[in-house]
Amino acid sequence: MSKAKYIRWKDTDGTYFRPVSITGTDLLNDRTLNKGTAFTEEERKEFDLVGLLPSKPQPFEEQLKRVYQGFLGAETDIKKYSYLKDLQGRNETLFYALVSRHLDEMTPIIYTPTVGKACQEFSHRYQKTRGMFITKDNVGHLSHIAKHFDAKDIKIIVVTDSKAILGIGDQGVGGMGIPVGKLSLYTLGAGIHPAACLPIALDIGTDNEDLLNDPMYLGERHKRITGKAYEDFIETFVQQIKISFPGAVLQWEDFSKSDAFNNLNKYKDQLPSFNDDIQGTGSVVLAGVLGAVRIKKESLSDQVFAIYGAGAGGVGVADQIQAGLVRDGLTPEEAKDRIYILDSQGLVLDDREQLDDFKLRYAKSRNTHTSWKDKVTLDDVLADIPVTVLIGTSGVAGAFKEQHIKLMLSHCSKPMIFPLSNPTSNSEAIPEDIFNWSNGQAIVATGSPYDNVEFKGKSHRIGQGNNVFIFPGVGLAAILAKVKQIEIDMFTTASFALSECITDEDLAQGAVYPEIHRLREISAYVAKAVMIKELHKDPSNPFKVKDLDTYIQDRMWVPEYLPYKKV
């Protein structure tokens, strides 16, 4: 039988027809095209599938019921993760249709917190391959490896070197679970077709002795390359990406704090790129604070911030809060004066030796308070400064204590407490404890999902400060508007747009974030806001669209089967 050509997908550039010559088992093994038991009798004859599937075609809705039953039958979260990854490897349309109908239930499985365990057990649970694994030996040949992907199709790339995975550190090649999970959220939230998403793991060794001593470990079995060798590797990688995928947006993910800032600052002008740990985290936190000030009936500029944890996420939060305060009317210096950041050595002070450059701009003078001697602890800061917002990005479980909340209550009737570290085992405080310590007065948001807290007869929904509310919309806007550089202002705009998606009902429940099942709606709204801002900023931009709502919706892929036919 001759090879047939058929419809492939509707893409972000508005294209509907993609001719592809593939039939039989090749078609069944293509995860982006396979319909499994849903192939009709006509399609089975047309594409040489007769005898390769059970004889009774199964409608899409019946497939969805069957795979959901399979999901429910998995006894543990990691088994549910493996079940969904297997489904994704076989039939991505069915996978995304299933997850999109059960977002609240399945997002914590395909990403945080379960993805952390999946990264740790990657070599022992390895399934079907996807994406690129780039090493020091093959990085110079990336353009050759890229021949397996259509450069015109790839719209978004997520890359990690796996050194700082969530709160669990160096996971070597197992960090590939992060780009795969992030890109799943791009598809679910922004409707970017899965074939337009490329996950990349930079396998440059690992300093994790458990992995190096594990005979099952699948990555490069040596210590991480560092220093100039690392810098040269990243330089080669970026240049190869520019050659191989010139139209793609690059997202840096889970690099160490110094490498995260260095890579972002060095390459942000060379290609449209951003770091979600820095910019996405900052943006989603600012949105939550904007929601909380609505509960308090105050302004953003009324708040004073203590950020406990000065890594990439913590300083990213400080950067975005400063940008938000400036948009609210403060000068950059006035905004900076309202932000205090702390790390393992206490409050970041300007007399500290060998202070990281990215922390220096928020360093305070010790002379500000005569009582500040030696290490200035969180207790000291909260006793001396009228902090209204306490944000945790430290990864130190239980770092927030009852005395910290009491100190805030001494000058603030409704303190905002955001223990954001992932996974739940690293959270700076448990929501239930915060409600007990504050007698129900605190406004609480977390980084990981938590159940509602019942306090004095009222149920409080704990809003999750999940970056998924930000990065899919920003990424989609960058792709559609064809931006050359992704700037902090895009994330500030995204923060304010997300805050507008927080309903009065959400706030009445005590939640400063929307519910996750609204993800697609929110991503489209964020993308629209960012695109409008970009168009107004550059009047010469040739990209002009009157009806952005329709334009965006028409370019968001929906996980449903299209009829396959010869063209």
The count of residues in the chain is: 567
The token pair that represents 388 in the structure block:
């209204």
Distance CA 459, CA 472 (A): 30
Residues 175-208: b if buried by 16+ CB within 10 A, e if exposed: bbbbbbbbbbbbbbbbbbbbbbbbbbbbbbbbeb
User: What is the DSSP secondary structure assignment for residue 348, as one 8-state letter?
Assistant: -
Residues 6+ apart with CB under 8 A from 118: 78, 81, 82, 85, 125, 174, 177
Distance CA 343, CA 322 (A): 19
Catalytic residue among 80, 117, 163, 182: 182
199 three-class SS: strand
Q: Is residue 465 a contact partner of residue 418, using CB atoms and an 8 Å limit?
A: yes
Catalytic-residue membership of 111: yes
Rounded to a whole number of angstroms, the distance between the first and last alpha carbons of the chain is: 16
Query: Taken in order 393, 399, 401, 404, is the CA torsion positive or negative?
Result: negative
Crossing angle, helix 103-110 and helix 77-90, to 10 degrees?
90
CB burial class (10 A; 0-12, 13-18, 19+) of residue 145?
Answer: middle
Give the amino acid at 72: L
Catalytic-residue membership of 401: no
Distance CA 21, CA 77 (A): 38
From residue 84, alpha-carbon distances to 19, 185, 197, 202, 253 in Å are: 29, 14, 18, 24, 22
Q: Is residue 272 a contact partner of residue 485, using CB atoms and an 8 Å limit?
A: yes
Q: Is residue 306 a contact partner of residue 378, using CB atoms and an 8 Å limit?
A: yes
Catalytic residue among 96, 111, 217, 564: 111
Residues 6+ apart with CB under 8 A from 84: 71, 95, 98, 99, 106, 109, 110
| Bridge partners of residue 306, in order along the sequence | 340, 390
Catalytic residue ranges: 111, 182
